[in-house]
Amino acid sequence: MLLVLPTAVLGGLLWRQLEEDHQTLMAAAPGDTADAARRLLDALEHRVRDLVDREGLRPFYHYKKSYFPPGTIGSDLAFVPSPLATGPAPEGIQAWFTYSFGSRGVPDTEIFAGGRDRDPAWPDRHAALESATVALALHDRGENWFSRIARLGAVRVDLLPLPVAAVNASQEQDIDCMRSELHALKELQDESQDVQVFSFHLRFYREEDGTPRVVASRRVIIESNKRLRGMPSCFENLAWGMHQVQGFFIDPDWLFARLPATLANQVLDPSQEFVAAGTGPSGAQLLGGRSKHQAGAVGAEIRPVKELGLETYAPEDENFGRMRVMVDTGDLEARFRSQTLHFLGLAAMLVFSLGTGLALLLRSVRRDLEAAQRTENFVAAVTHELRTPLSAIRMHGEMLQDGWVKDDSKRQEYYRRIVRETDRLETLVERVLEKSRLSTGDARPEPGDLNEIVEGLGPALLGTGTEQPARDVVFDLAPDLPETLIVPDGVRSIVTNLVENARKYAPVREDVPGAEPIRVVTLRVDGEPALEVRDRGPGIPREEHAHIFDAFYRVGNETTRTSKGTGLGLHLVALHCRAMGARIQALDREGGGTVFRVTFRRAGGEERLTQAS
């Protein structure tokens, strides 16, 4: 109880804790995904803003193949190749563009590859981007002024030396013209020119064929400057002011798939999964069609187009590139199931070990109790066995001493009784001593003739030569027994004990005609030499067979038993057998009675064993 109760209580508490943890996790899953989705969106927004901010810092004149940097005006015009043309392009940018409308109303566009023009796929991409830019220009031009104003955003005014602004704003490709006018420009060096650069505006739309476009665009305005009127043609356009749209195309695949996937790796928990719709035309369906997460999955959705604040032309475009943060509650369930199994396994093991422990404890307690009971029985038996002869000796002795016995033959009879009782006492003491000797001794069996030893016991057992030799025991010895490993005294003790027991528990009724005597037999059992003592007594109940060789064990109860004994006889037999490496068995005899069989080892067998080893 001391062990089981705390274990059960502890187990119950642990189980409850496990269940509660699981429920908490399950309940937290939707909230967790919403948080994770927010973190992911924040990260995405941060990266896009970062890209746009950095692009916003570019001076307007980077949007040319080469430009004239401020502060370098000298004897010549030193043009520097624009980073937009040479690259490298920041990740996510497909290309830069500019457009403006000349007097003819046809958009004047230019695309900057950012160094990608060496790519074999570039000509195709360039053509697509070029037509996208023309379409964009025409779209913007067709819009009402309100939409255009709404797109303008914050303005930054860059103050540039007039010659720098003039050269860079010039649409003229003829550098010679500019060079020839260098001196005129130098005179204007102290004059400055305002350049209004508006902030980038982001929009998402689909072209007619469905191609998604993410466009960042800004306006650059240089007001007309009268100082430049009358200048050579290569500068003249600035005299009328400049109005240009600059911008870049953001790769939709990067924005809606690659970038969020990378960010998801950084911001999501391992239990959460990022699912992007992709940017193909079937993107939206793809999201709905995922099979892994259909059952037991909770998720939070991100609509990047809407949530990043991209302008759209059509409401359904707001759904483009939807993505989800999923958590598979199936995983949680599976984890809970495996934890439950673990727990149950552990509990089963605990119950098993507790059960085994208790069983072992009970067995050992029972054994101890049995041993104590046997010792008690022994003490009772020994006391009894000691007392009976002692009181008989004392009684007969006193009677003789006091001269009460007058009859001579009676006196002789008393003397005989005293001697017999003394023998009994001696036997008892010897048995106890023999037991302790055998328990500690190390007798070594040696090859010998079993028949010879058994035969030698005949006179003592039968009282041969006395007035009344016993006829209740017959010897039946097999003639050709092999040499046997024996300890002669051990064999004598075995035979004597077994015959004594047979006489005690299965006495031969000599008055009954045809009564079968006790048989002492030597024979071969499976080739091995063996000895049997057979009687026609009441037999020994099967359930007692396992116990009768235990020390002090006696069948039945000490108080109800009629025969005298100490429970040591068969124990001594078993100890002798063990010392010789022999095997003792109690068997039911056919037709009634008991057979005690001792199977010895052949001497040759041991030699063979020794040689083999």
Distance of alpha carbon 488 from alpha carbon 477, whole angstroms? 17
User: Rounded to an integer, what distance in angstroms lies between the CA atom of residue 395 and that of residue 393?
Assistant: 6
Q: Looking at beta carbons only, is 188 or 540 nearer to ligand ADP?
A: 540
Cα 478 to the chain's mean position, in Å?
67
CB of 383 to ligand ADP, least distance (A): 14
Smallest distance, Å, CB 377 to ligand ADP?
Answer: 10
Cβ at position 507, least distance to ligand ADP in Å: 10
- Cβ distance to ligand ADP smaller for residue 167 or 540: 540
**Strand duo 484-486 + 518-525: pairing:** unpaired
Question: Cβ 562 to ligand ADP, closest distance in Å?
Answer: 11
Closest CA to 520 of 504, 496, 539: 496
Q: Which residues contact 390 (CB under 8 A, 6 or more apart)?
A: 421, 425
Q: Give the nearest distance from C-beta 445 to ligand ADP in angstroms.
A: 22
Nearest approach in angstroms of CB 490 to ligand ADP is 16
111 vs 572 by CB, closer to ligand ADP: 572
Nearer residue to ligand ADP within complex by CB, 167 or 506: 506
Q: How are the residues of the chain apportioned to helix, strand and coil, as percentages rounded to the nearest 5?
A: 50, 20, 30
Q: CB-side exposure of 245: number of CA atoms within 13 Å?
A: 24
Which of residues 252 and 567 has its CB atom nearest to ligand ADP in the complex? 567
Per-residue b or e along 335-353, where b marks 16 or more CB atoms closer than 10 Å to that residue's CB: ebeeeeeeeeeeeeebeee
Q: Which is nearer to ligand ADP, 554 or 602 (CB)?
A: 554
Q: Which segments within 79-231 are labelled E, that is strand?
A: 80-81, 93-101, 107-112, 155-161, 192-198, 201-206, 212-222
Q: Which CB sits closer to ligand ADP, 365 or 546? A: 546
What's the closest the beta carbon of residue 538 comes to ligand ADP, in angstroms?
6
- In terms of Cβ atoms closer than 10 Å to its own Cβ (0-12, 13-18, 19+), residue 475 is middle
| Min separation Cβ 512 and ligand ADP, Å | 18
Which is closer to ligand ADP, CB of 374 or CB of 554? Answer: 554
Distance CA 294, CA 285 (A): 14
Please say which residue, 475 or 505, places its beta carbon nearer to ligand ADP.
505
What residues contact 127, with CB distance under 8 A and at least 6 apart? none
* Closest to ligand ADP by CB, 32 or 421: 421
CB 241 within 8 A of CB 223: yes
Residue 524 beta carbon to ligand ADP: minimum distance, rounded to whole angstroms? 23
- What phi and psi, each to the nearest 5 degrees, are found at residue 274? -95, 130
- What is the rounded CA–CA span in Å between residue 546 and residue 555? 11
Phi first, then psi, for residue 555 (nearest 5°) are -70, 135
Binding site for ligand ADP (CB under 6 A): 501-502, 505-506, 535, 537-538, 540, 548, 554-555, 565-571, 594
Taking the complex as a whole, the smallest distance from the CB of residue 565 to ligand ADP amounts, in Å, to: 2
For residue 565, the number of C-alpha atoms closer than 13 Å in the C-beta half-sphere is 27
